[in-house]
Amino acid sequence: MIERLPHEKGFHISWDQIHRDSRALAWRLEQQGPLAGGAWKAVVAITRGGMVPACIIARELNVRVVDTISVKSYDNQTQEATEVLKSPDPVMMGDGEGVLVIDDLVDSGKTLEVVRALYPKAHFATVYAKPKGRPMVDSFITEVSQDTWIFFPWDMALQYVEPYRGV
């Protein structure tokens, strides 16, 4: 068995797969909202990775109010600080009640921790989750191990690969 570096343990997601998994998440969230008939007030994507799943989920749940939040994380040796680069409409957000906050994945949970502190009543959903970040997410579809790196289709391109066995 060949030893692999952590980043080589890749989980490669195709466009088809992210569409299916995002639709599965939408199905899980359907009728779970606090408005009449289990509807949701708004969908908020955590940019940039949350935008594709958020679009698919907003379509499936017929939510037309869609906004974004951009969080930048800094790793400063001993100190870790975060900065919100762009906030969603504060009037629409309130304390987050009835709002679905969507991201592509939760890894350490740091990103969601920041957004959760701002909107404690929102529902936090990701398509994929790693064990460390699980406590930060209310709904998700697929869990992968902490040492797996998820590759999304917007970060990849089709290219030639060498056959396993050379001549």
Ligand X SMILES: O=P(O)(O)OC[C@H]1O[C@H](OP(=O)(O)OP(=O)(O)O)[C@H](O)[C@@H]1O
Residue 106 makes contact with ligand HPA by CB under 6 A: no
Encoding tokens for residue 24?
A: 């599965």
Encoding tokens for residue 59?
A: 């379509």
Residue 21 makes contact with ligand X by CB under 6 A: no
Radius of gyration of the chain (CA): 17
Cα distance between residue 115 and residue 145, in whole Å? 23
Residue 52's closest CA among 43, 42, 40, 41?
A: 43
Q: Which residue in the list 16, 107, 147, 155 is annotated as catalytic?
A: 107
- 83, 132 contact by CB (below 8 A): no
Whether 104 is a known active-site residue: answer: yes
Residue 150 makes contact with ligand HPA by CB under 6 A: yes
109 in a known ligand binding site: yes
150 binds, among ligand HPA, Mg ion, ligand X, none (CB under 5 to 8 A by kind): ligand HPA
Q: Which residue in the list 21, 89, 95, 104 is annotated as catalytic?
A: 104
Of 35 and 147, the one with the shorter C-beta distance to ligand X is: 147
Encoding tokens for residue 145?
A: 């191990």
Cα distance between residue 104 and residue 100, in whole Å? 13
- Stretch near ligand X under the rule CB under 6 A, chosen from 40-48, 77-85, 89-97, 141-149: 40-48
Q: Least distance (Å) from ligand HPA to the CB of residue 55?
A: 18
As annotated, the active-site residues are 103-104, 107
Binding-site positions for GMP read 107-111, 149-150
